[in-house]
Amino acid sequence: MIDYLIVGAGIAGISFAETCLQNHKSILVFEDDSQNSSAIAAGIYNPVILKRFTGFNNSQNQIDIAKFFYEKIEHKLNVKLDFELPILRKFTSIEEQNNWFVASDKPNLNPFLSLDLVTDKFQFIDSPFDYGKVLQTGYIDTKIYLQYYKTFLAKHNWFVNDCFNYNLMHFHDDFVEYNGSKFRNVVFAEGFGIHNNPFFNYLPLDGTKGELLIIRASKLNLEVIMNSSIYFVPLGDALYKVGATYNWDDKSSAKTGAGKKELLEKIESVIDCEFEVIEHLAGIRPTVKDRKPLLGTHFNHKRIHVLNGLGTRGVLLGPEMAQLLFDCIENHIIIPWEINIERFNKYLIFK
């Protein structure tokens, strides 16, 4: 009997797998590589919504949990994943400067918004109104994170690279049987792939397509994450991950000419130096109508659960959401209503 079958090996699935292992639970992880949003994500952890200068009530707790979580994984895998870098928000007007200082007085934003404007002039970036500095920020190298963690799982025979067949599931009171093996619980962490899941496809996960570019700009020389109309994340060796677009209609993970054109125009509006495109990436973010995660247990099958809807904040939300779901399953701790899938029970009448 294996404790957990985990379907999906993106940020959500790996976060739950690691939470299980830290609590001495046995696992098997299924992944079919159909969803790539976690691997291509910028991986930025940022407690502030910079478009509107708003925040979240429990941001500090999320940051503390995530930092400790990734530090332990770095030691386990012997790899650097967490790159601590400040985010500089480029102001476009005096009004934005004033809004920044107003926001910095709010209790949930005060620890993260520096009161000292950054007046440094970066070559090839026009910034007449200076920058605001966001503290306790950085990025997780999600590509390396997932690659190394899957290798770790495979080394211990805890990983299956195959398409999950829902028809092979058989339910019993104390376990779920799948393809001849017994599991105490099954956790689905499939991202946008939830739409193919007959048990949880009633949940209103919309998905938002995002495209981004990796560029080489040898003259730019940025050592911070720059946020303007788009973000620039320095990767080293004059490489930058730049993005991202938001498309609520296109549900394919195909790269588009329109997306690339939009990104190139925005890059050229921010930097005034030569650059070349090294790679073009696209994926579907698992976003929900109310912008909250999806956690909980199936209304009928009490041995199957879901962890999804982390959206654009996956690296920050993943560790905390995984722990909340684990505590719910193992210790019967109630998941808060605003992230509990029970808030969408009204959709069940259409099943």
pLDDT tens-digit series, residues 308-340: 999 989 999 999 999 999 999 999 999 999 999
Name which CATH class applies to 83-138+207-285. Answer: alpha beta
**Paired tokens of 146:** 């997932």
Q: Do 200 and 208 contact (CB within 8 A), yes or no?
A: no
The H or E element that residue 111 is part of is none
Q: Report the length, in residues, of the chain.
A: 351
Q: Provide the 3-class DSSP secondary structure of residue 193.
A: helix
Q: Where in the chain is CATH 3.50.50.60?
A: 2-41+143-203+289-350
Q: Please tell me the predicted confidence (pLDDT) of residue 35.
A: 77
Q: Where in the chain is CATH 3.30.9.10?
A: 83-138+207-285
Sign of CA dihedral 222, 224, 229, 230: positive
pTM of the model: 0.94
φ/ψ of 51, rounded to 5, equals -70, -35
Share of the chain residues as helix, strand and coil, in percent rounded to the nearest 5: 35, 30, 40
Name which CATH class applies to 2-41+143-203+289-350. Answer: alpha beta
User: For the chain, which ranges sit under pLDDT 50?
Assistant: 350-351
**Torsion-angle region of residue 261: left (phi > 0), alpha (psi -120 to 50) or beta?**
alpha
Nearest to 232, CA basis, from 217, 222, 242: 242
Q: Please tell me the predicted confidence (pLDDT) of residue 351.
A: 44
Residue spans of beta strands (DSSP E) within 16-152: 27-31, 44-45, 48-49, 54-55, 82-84, 87-90, 131-134, 138-140
